[in-house]
Amino acid sequence: MEDRSLDKNAVIGFVLIFAIMLGWLYFNQPTPEEIEAERLEKETQESLAQSTSTPASPEENLSTESSDPILSDQARFDAYRMQVGAFAYTQSTDSVIEVQTDRFSAKFSTRGAELSELILQDHQDYEGNQVRLIDADFSDFGLNFRTRDNRLIDTSELLFTADQEVLGSETKIIFRAAIDTQSFLEYTYTFKDSSYLIDLAIRTQNLNSYIAGSDPVNLKWVYWAARNDQSVEYENRYTRLTYSYDTGTVKKLSATSDSDEEVAQNVDWVSNRHHFFSAILGSKRPFSQVLMRSENLVEEESKAIKHTKKYTTEAPLTLIGGEINESLYLYMGPTDATSMAAHKDLGIIESIPFGWGIFGTLNRYVFNPFFDALAGVFPYGIAIIVMTLVVRLVLSPVTYKSYVSQAKMKVIQPEVQEINKKYESNAMKKQQETMKLYRKAGVNPMSGCVPALLQLPVFYALFSFFPTAFSLRQKSFLWVDDLSSYDTIVDLPFTIPFYGDHISLFPILASVAIFFYMQMTTGQTMQMQQQPGMPNMKFIMYLSPVMMLFFFNNYASGLSLYYFVSNLLTIAIMLVIKNYIIDENKIHLQVQQNKENPKKEGKFQRKMREMMEQAENQKKLGK
């Protein structure tokens, strides 16, 4: 039979094992501090999970109170410190460092060592508040990297110590996050009085043993462009991300699409451009690659919208010997040639939207300096009028050429009408005979269009100049408070589609002026509408002023002022040409002489005539 009694040695063994287990549990039980930290970490993870499942914009976050009042900033930091292990810094509270210069007032947070606020000293928004380029809830700047033990570090969540140095007109703020006495991550911001540029040096020491060498250290900046103009839709048209790559080539992301993304190599700088201000991030050593994203936040005109675009910039930093050593800079100021000229070596002046091609060249080297010179002598509204007068006088020879062409067309008008009546049922023959008459009389129906084409570069250049001229911002003239924005004489209690919720006076004046101008210019060539392929000039004469009225109601009043004065001056110049310079009797005599001694038919004219005759013969054969 099997003996079921317990062996004495076995009993002793079980007792010893039980005693050891009790001792291990007793000596390894968590302290009250560890229990509290574990609870806070759990709450942090739950809070992060909730925020991830239902993302909210910064505006929504600002307007919503925290659902967990127990979870303080210190608790969040303690929980994060447990996650990052070695990156546990001695400083335990978040603090604010303030810097005042001639150009702006800035605040830094020791959490993340980033700018939490930047306000321009000398510039106001449309409500009279100082322009705020950075707000803590609308800018997130930091590094992301992975440690050798596979932990992801986000420096915007870490606490740094701060030190401040003032040397004459230069102020340095040095932030340091230390792992031990020999290992740290350091940001150094350098400010200079009377400068919109902030130098930023990022370096590490002895972190190569902590940073995973296989993964890049990624710099990321998420930035919301704040609204500063009274029309958010108009402002949004000129708010876009611009960047320079390959030492000087400038490209832009879309200003109108809901979202636009682009990747570029050898990037010198990225400009988070507002309408009249810029927040530029650049590197003394070009970024090897940058991912840029622009998200449109404006769907329609609204007084409640506070931001126009959300910009995201991501760039991997180059590690040298496993360490970071980057020399960056931030330009925080006006998108203005005068302000940016102090930093020509950086090329950030190319971020100004002068216009493309020849139009941009005219603005940058002709109209910008010319207008600045005038504005130094006259009030800004008067400067626009004087510049318009000079431009119209310079273009007056072109206006003269155009008017002479119209006068010649008027002289042969009776003969054109006879041809139209004679060949009323035969469009091809009517066109052939009309061209023959033009050739004999020495009249070119297109000669009036050529002068107009020559004026197009000036027209488009000024169309780009006025809405983006920083010097016009918040400058008043007559009833206009801001020449860079629309003027308002009546606020409507409703919104008219494509027009707006207000009535601007300068677009009305400009529309009336262009109507009378077109009456003068199209009245003499109205017969052209009867020619095949020619547009209905009468329809255009009425359509153009209406389009201007609607299109310019929300545009810069300085632009409407220019078109109003320009059309008035053009009408005056044409009246002078008609009444004091051109003798229509002499023109009539010259046309008759040309008929008797017609010019030799050119190759192009001969080719056109042969093609028309061939088409006419084919038509006869077909019948």
pLDDT tens digits for 470-522? Answer: 988 989 898 988 898 888 888 888 888 878 788 889 989 988 888 888 777 66
SS3 of residue 334 by DSSP: strand
Whether the Cβ atoms of residue 445 and residue 528 lie closer than 8 Å to each other: yes
Phi-psi region of 488 (alpha: psi -120 to 50; beta: other; left: phi over 0): beta
Q: What percent of the chain is modeled with pLDDT above 70? A: 72
CA dist 459 and 571 (Å) reads: 17
How many residues can be counted in the chain? 623
Whether the Cβ atoms of residue 374 and residue 383 lie closer than 8 Å to each other: yes
For the record, the structure tokens of 197 come out as 């540029």
pLDDT (0 to 100) of residue 32:
56
Backbone angles phi, psi at 31, to 5 degrees: -75, 165
Q: Which residue has the tokens 């790559």?
A: 245
- In this structure, which amino acid lies at residue 159? L
CA dist 303 and 392 (Å) reads: 39
- In this structure, which amino acid lies at residue 522? T
- 297 or 593, greater pLDDT: 297
Q: Which residue has the tokens 């030492």?
A: 247
CA dist 69 and 65 (Å) reads: 9
- What distances in angstroms separate CA 75 from CA 65, 70, 81, one per listed residue? 18, 9, 10
For the record, the structure tokens of 242 come out as 């611009």
- Residue 543 pLDDT class (50, 70, 90 cuts): confident
pLDDT (0 to 100) of residue 520:
74
- Residue 307's Cα: distance from chain center in Å? 13
Query: Could you tell me whether strands 323-334 and 170-178 are parallel, antiparallel, or unpaired per DSSP bridges?
Result: unpaired
CA dist 477 and 558 (Å) reads: 9
- In this structure, which amino acid lies at residue 352? I
Whether the Cβ atoms of residue 449 and residue 521 lie closer than 8 Å to each other: no
pLDDT (0 to 100) of residue 175:
94
Task: Tell me the residue ranges of DSSP E strands in 193-230.
Answer: 197-205, 217-226
- Residue 287 pLDDT class (50, 70, 90 cuts): very high
Which of 156-160, 224-228, 279-283, 312-316 is least confident?
156-160
- Residue 70's Cα: distance from chain center in Å? 42
Whether the Cβ atoms of residue 330 and residue 187 lie closer than 8 Å to each other: no
- Residue 622 pLDDT class (50, 70, 90 cuts): low
CA dist 357 and 456 (Å) reads: 13
Backbone angles phi, psi at 540, to 5 degrees: -65, -35
pLDDT (0 to 100) of residue 600:
60
* pLDDT mean across residues, the chain: 78
For the record, the structure tokens of 309 come out as 């675009």
pLDDT (0 to 100) of residue 318:
84
Instruction: Break the chain into its structural domains and give their ranges.
Output: 33-47+71-85, 86-353, 364-608
Task: Tell me the residue ranges of DSSP E strands in 159-216.
Answer: 161-167, 170-178, 184-192, 197-205
346-401 pLDDT, tens digit per residue, is 989 999 988 888 888 888 899 989 999 999 899 999 999 999 999 888 888 877 77
Q: Could you give the strand order of the β-sheet that contains 114-124, starting from the edge strand earlier in sequence?
A: 96-100, 104-109, 114-124, 130-135
CA dist 216 and 146 (Å) reads: 8
Q: What share of the chain is helix, strand, coil (3-state, %, to 5)?
A: 45, 25, 30
CA dist 578 and 407 (Å) reads: 9
CATH topology of domain 86-353: Beta-galactosidase; Chain A, domain 5 (2.70.98)
pLDDT (0 to 100) of residue 190:
94
Out of 74-83, 152-161, 430-439, 569-578, the most confident range is 152-161
For the record, the structure tokens of 257 come out as 């699409």
CB atoms within 10 A of CB 300: 8
